Chains A and B, each alone.
Chain A
Amino acid sequence: MSITLVQGLMLALMAAICAIDKCTEAFFWFRPITTAFLTGVILGDVKLGLQCAAIAELAFTGLLTVGGTVPPDGLMAGIMTTVLAYLNPGLTPEAALSLAFPFALLMQWVGIIENTTFAGFMPIMEKQAYKADIKGLWRTLFTGVGITAIIYAIIVFLSTYAIQEPIRLFVENFPEWIVNGFTVAGGIMPAIGLAMLLRVMMTTENAPYLFIGFVVATFVEMGNVLPIAIVGAAIAYLGYLNAKKQAAQGGNEDDGI
C-alpha cells in the first residue's frame, strides 16, 4: 500500500481545516476520532479509519489540556495512526498508534513553540485595539490561525507522502534541551500575564486575598478553581456589604455636616 500525491495533498488540506478548529476548540474536528476517520476516508479504507478512530480517541480522551500544558497532539496522532496502519498491513491499530507517537510529539513541540512565540502578537493587537482598528485585530487573529493551519498542512504532507522516515529520525534525534527550554518558558510566561493583571487589579487592601487563594490552591487537592471561586465569591460578597455599609455611613456623616 502506498499513498498517492493527490491523497497526500488531500490529507494536508484536511489537516489544515482540522487545525483551524484546533485553534478555536469549538467543533472538535481536531479530536483523533475525527482525523483518523477522515484519513481513512481519504485513503479509501473507511473500515480501517473507524478502527483507528476508536483506538486513538480512547487513548487521548484522558489527555486533556489543563492550564497551559499541551498534550501530545491528538489531531496528528489520529492521522498518523490510520496512515501507518494503512501503509503497513498486518500492523494492528494499537501498534500503529504507538508508532504515531513521535509525530504527535513533534506537533506538541510545534504547539508549545507557537504558544510561546504568539506572545509577540499581543503588543500588536494591543496597539490595534487602542486605535480601534477592528480589521487589523481580525487580520492578526487570522494570521495566527493561518500559520497554525499551514504548519499542519506542511508537516502532514511530509509525514504522510514525502519523508516519513526522516521525520521520525528527526524527532528521535532532536536535541531535547531546546524543546525543554520552550516548555519551561511556556510554564513561566503565564506569570507575566497574571502579573500584568494584578497590576490593574491588586490594591493594598485586597492583596492579602492573593495569598489566601494561593495557599488554599496549593494545599487543597481539587480538579479546578471553582471551589475556591465559590469561597472567593462569598468573601467578595462580605466585602461588598462592608463597602456598602461604609458608603452609607460616609453619606450620613456628610449629612451631619
Chain B
Amino acid sequence: MTVSRNKLTKKDITDLAVLSIFEQCPFCYERMQAGGYTATLAPTLKKIYGDQTEELGNALGRNMTFFNTEPHMATFQQGLHAALEEAGEDRDVIMGIRDALFGPFAGLGDAVFWFTLLPVTATICCSLCSQGNVLGPILFLIIWFFLGIVPRIWLCHLGYNLGTSAVDVIRENAPAIAKAAGILGVLVVGALIPSYVGIAFNEELVLTGGVAVQAIFDSVIPNLLPLALVLFFYWLIKKKNIGSIQLIIAILIICIVASYFNIFAY
C-alpha cells in the first residue's frame, strides 16, 4: 500500500511554532527534550499522514531518542523536519539531519538567548527596578513575550522553507547526506560528552600512598570516566539489549549508595 502525504499550509507551520513552546516538557536527564520534541511535532505529522496510523506511528516513534537544543531555536529543526516528512524523504536521512543539528543549534541559541539577550534585558530592567520604576519588570515581561514567540515562528518558517527547497538536493544525494550527517552527529556527540556527562571520583578518595583516584584518571586524560560510561552503556544497549529503564534504576541505586560512602563527585 502506498503512503499518501498531505501538503502543509503556512498556518500549519505557525501552529507548529506555537505548540513548540512546550518542546522542552517533560525534560529529563536521560533523553532530555525527546518527549517534548515528539509531542509538539505530532499534530503536524498527523496533518501529513492523516489516518495512516502505522506510518504516523513510525514517523513519531523514531523521535523518542535523545534530543536537546535551545528551546527557542527548536522550531527551526521542527520546521525542517516537517518539510522533509511532507516530501517523503528517507527517514534515516531525516533523523540523521535532526541528530546532527541539535548540538550546533543549542550552542547558537545559548549564545543568542541566554548569554546575550537575557543579560542585556535583565540589566536594563533591573536598573529601572532599583529606581523604583514599575516599568522594569513589566518591560521585561513584554520584551520576553515577543522574544518567546516571534523568533519561534520566524525560525519555524525558515526551517520549513529551507527544507522544502532542499528536498530535491537531499533526495538525489541521500546516501552521501546520511553519511555526512552521521559524521557531524557522531563528532558533536563526542564533543558533548565532557559537558553533558558529569562524573568523577571524590577528591578525598585516596589510594594507599596518598594518590587520589581521580588524579590517576585525570593524568591519563580528563573526562575519561564520562567517555568510558557512554561507551559502556552503548555496549550494554547494543550488544546486551539492556533497556534504558533498567539502566536508570540501577544507576539511581548505585549512585545513592555510593553517595553514602562518598565515592563519586559530580
- Cα distance, A219 to B223, chains bound together (Å): 10
- Whether A46 sits at the interface, judged by CB under 8 Å, is yes
- Cα distance, A143 to B28, chains bound together (Å): 13
- Whether B173 sits at the interface, judged by CB under 8 Å, is yes
| A182-B255, A224-B106 as given contacts; A235 in contact with B144, CB under 8 Å | no
> Which of B19-27, B82-90, B154-162 touches A?
B19-27
- Whether A138 sits at the interface, judged by CB under 8 Å, is yes
**Chain A: CB-nearest residue to B57:** A132
- Whether A95 sits at the interface, judged by CB under 8 Å, is no
How many B residues touch the partner, as a band? 35 or more
Produce 1/0 per residue, B193-234, CB < 8 A to A: 111111100000000000000000000011100110111011
B-side binding surface: helix, strand, loop or mixed?
Answer: helix
**Which of chain A's residues 180-218 have a Cβ closer than 8 Å to chain B?**
180-203, 205-207, 209-218
**Which of chain A's residues 199-257 have a Cβ closer than 8 Å to chain B?**
199-203, 205-207, 209-219, 223-226, 228-233, 235-237, 239-241, 243-244, 247
**Chain B: CB-nearest residue to A185:** B255
- Cα distance, A115 to B32, chains bound together (Å): 8
- Whether A172 sits at the interface, judged by CB under 8 Å, is no
Instruction: Pick the contact of A129: B64, B126, B136 (CB < 8 A).
Output: B64
- Whether A14 sits at the interface, judged by CB under 8 Å, is no
- Cα distance, A200 to B145, chains bound together (Å): 38
Instruction: Pick the contact of A235: B66, B119, B187, B189 (CB < 8 A).
Output: B187
How far is the CB of B199 from the nearest CB of chain A, in Å? 5
How far is the CB of B5 from the nearest CB of chain A, in Å? 15
How far is the CB of A239 from the nearest CB of chain B, in Å? 5
**Chain B: CB-nearest residue to A202:** B186
- Whether B34 sits at the interface, judged by CB under 8 Å, is yes
- Cα distance, A240 to B176, chains bound together (Å): 5
> Which of A29-37, A101-109, A162-170 touches B?
A29-37
- Cα distance, A167 to B141, chains bound together (Å): 31
- Cα distance, A83 to B177, chains bound together (Å): 56
| A199-B238, A209-B186 as given contacts; A191 in contact with B129, CB under 8 Å | no
- Cα distance, A197 to B58, chains bound together (Å): 17
- Cα distance, A66 to B192, chains bound together (Å): 12
- Whether A153 sits at the interface, judged by CB under 8 Å, is no
Beta-carbon contact of B251 and A189 below 8 Å: yes
| A26-B21, A181-B258, A201-B96 as given contacts; A194 in contact with B189, CB under 8 Å | yes
- Give the interface centre of B29, B43, B46, B260 by most chain A CB atoms within 10 Å: B29
Beta-carbon contact of A130 and B27 below 8 Å: no
Beta-carbon contact of A137 and B38 below 8 Å: yes
How far is the CB of B208 from the nearest CB of chain A, in Å? 24
Beta-carbon contact of B26 and A225 below 8 Å: no
Residues of B within 8 A of A26 (CB): 21, 71-72, 148-149
- Cα distance, A121 to B25, chains bound together (Å): 11
- Give the interface centre of A69, A144, A194, A231 by most chain B CB atoms within 10 Å: A194
- Cα distance, A145 to B238, chains bound together (Å): 32
**Chain B: CB-nearest residue to A127:** B61
Beta-carbon contact of B61 and A27 below 8 Å: no
Beta-carbon contact of A53 and B137 below 8 Å: yes
**Chain A: CB-nearest residue to B58:** A130
Instruction: Pick the contact of A178: B99, B245, B256 (CB < 8 A).
Output: B256
Beta-carbon contact of B237 and A196 below 8 Å: yes
How far is the CB of B185 from the nearest CB of chain A, in Å? 5
- Whether A4 sits at the interface, judged by CB under 8 Å, is no
**Extra inter-chain contacts (15) besides given A64-B114, A209-B187, A223-B111, CB under 8 Å:** A27-B144, A54-B130, A61-B122, A67-B198, A126-B61, A134-B39, A137-B39, A187-B199, A191-B196, A206-B182, A213-B188, A219-B222, A226-B108, A226-B111, A241-B176
Q: Can you show 18 pairs from A to B with CB atoms below 8 A apart?
A: A23-B24, A25-B71, A33-B137, A50-B130, A53-B129, A68-B198, A69-B198, A119-B30, A126-B61, A184-B259, A187-B198, A188-B229, A192-B233, A214-B193, A229-B104, A236-B181, A236-B184, A241-B176
- A interface residues (Cβ-Cβ under 8 A, vs B): 23-29, 31, 33-34, 37-38, 46-47, 50-51, 53-55, 57-58, 61, 64-69, 115-123, 125-126, 129-132, 134, 137-138, 140-141, 143-145, 177-178, 180-203, 205-207, 209-219, 223-226, 228-233, 235-237, 239-241, 243-244, 247
